[in-house]
Structure 1
C-alpha cells in the first residue's frame, strides 16, 4: 500500500511516509511486518530515513516503480 501511494503520487518525493507505529494503526499489521515494509522500501531506494525525523519518499525515484519489485499489496 505504501509503495502504491508513492507510485500514484499520494506521497510525492520528500513527503514523510507513515512510521511503523502509524502503519500498525492504519493497516492493522504486526510491528515486524511494518519494519520489513520500511526495510524493503529503503533497500529499493523508494524511501530514506532521517534519525529522529522519520522516513521520507526519495527524491530520485525509479522511473518505473513496478520494476522496483513487490506488489501493491505491501503495507
Structure 2
C-alpha cells in the first residue's frame, strides 16, 4: 500500500514511481508502460490522474505513445 504525501498531487507521486521504475530497468526502453487503466488498478487513482501521469512523462520524453498500441519507454538519446 502506498502512503501518499498529503502536500503533493498524487499524479506527481505516481509519475515519480514510474520514473523510478524506468531508471532502475523495471520498464526497459521500448517496453510498454502500464496503461491508464492499469495505473488506476495499481494505485487506486482516477482515470484523469492516470492521464496526467502519462501526459507528464510524454512531455518530458520519458515515454511515447503509439496510437492503438499503448505507451512505451523511450530509448535513451545518444550523446552528440
After TM superposition, is the score higher than 0.5?
yes
- Determine if the alignment matches structure 1 residue 14 to structure 2 residue 4: no
Could you tell me how far 1:45 is from its partner in structure 2?
A: 0.2
Query: What's the TM-score, normalizing by structure 2?
Result: 0.73
Query: What's the TM-score, normalizing by structure 1?
Result: 0.78
Deviations 1:30-63 (A, max 9, x none): 11110000000000000000000000000125xx
Moved over 3 A (4+): none
Number of residue pairs aligned between Structure 1 and Structure 2: 63
Higher normalized contact order (CA 8 Å, seq sep 6+, divided by chain length) = 1
Gaps of 5+ in 1: 62-75
What does residue range 54-69 of structure 1 map to in structure 2 within 5 Å?
Answer: 54-60=70-76
From the CA coordinates, give the structure whose radius of gyration is larger.
2
Q: Root-mean-square deviation (CA), in Å? A: 1.8
